Amino acid sequence: MIAYRRLFRFVPVLLLLAFITPAAAQPKPDVDPNRLAAARELMVAAGSAKQFDQIMPVLTANMTRAFVSLAPHAQKEITEVMGQMNKRFSERKGELIDQIAGLYAQKLTLEELNELTRFYSTGAGAKFIAMMPDLMQQSILLGQKWGEGIGREIEAEVRRELRKRGINI
């Protein structure tokens, strides 16, 4: 198997880290406690914890497959360890929710936070939240397929360009 294919199996991990890392890297915001409380309410209304609960199994399943592809003889052990990681890191979702709430409180006004919370409490907002796990899972699959396709195109282009320069790989 070509290395880029293994890399693109980690696309969901990289996407998740891309969303988590900026929030985690932010210093604790010095914001109005009312805005922070409203941001936490928004996180609840938006179903952020539920979304996280849906992401972790997909994330660990993809990582399990990637590790098993590297060490097929250790599938049982890898699956067991990943199950432990899933449980252990799922318990820490509150840390992420607090960090993101702090970021929202820093970037949005109290009025905007309240308006967003109201939206997520409406029919359209609730429907959107209910659809998010499926949309996220399908988006991850689309991202993987897209990444694999782009990887094949890049590989072909690089080989073609190198051949022009007398290098056959």
Helices (H), ranges, the chain: 3-9, 11-25, 33-45, 48-70, 75-90, 93-107, 110-120, 123-164
- Model pTM above 0.85: no
DSSP symbols for 70-99: H-GGGHHHHHHHHHHHHHHHHTTHHHHHHH
pLDDT at 77 over 80: yes
pLDDT for 22 beyond 80: no
**What are the residues whose beta carbons fall under 8 Å from the beta carbon of 37, sequence distance 6 or more?**
none
- Neighbour-count burial of 104, counting CB atoms closer than 10 A to its CB (0-12 exposed, 13-18 middle, 19+ buried): buried
pLDDT of the residue at 65: 93
Q: How far apart are CA 70 and CA 77, in angstroms?
A: 13
pLDDT, mean of residues 76-93: 87
The predicted-structure confidence for 116-165, as pLDDT tens digits, reads as follows 999 999 999 999 988 987 888 899 999 999 999 999 999 999 999 999 99
**Residue 12, pLDDT score:** 52
Among 35, 157, 43, 153, smallest CA distance to 96 is for 43
- pLDDT score, position 7: 43
Per domain, the residue ranges of the chain are: 3-164
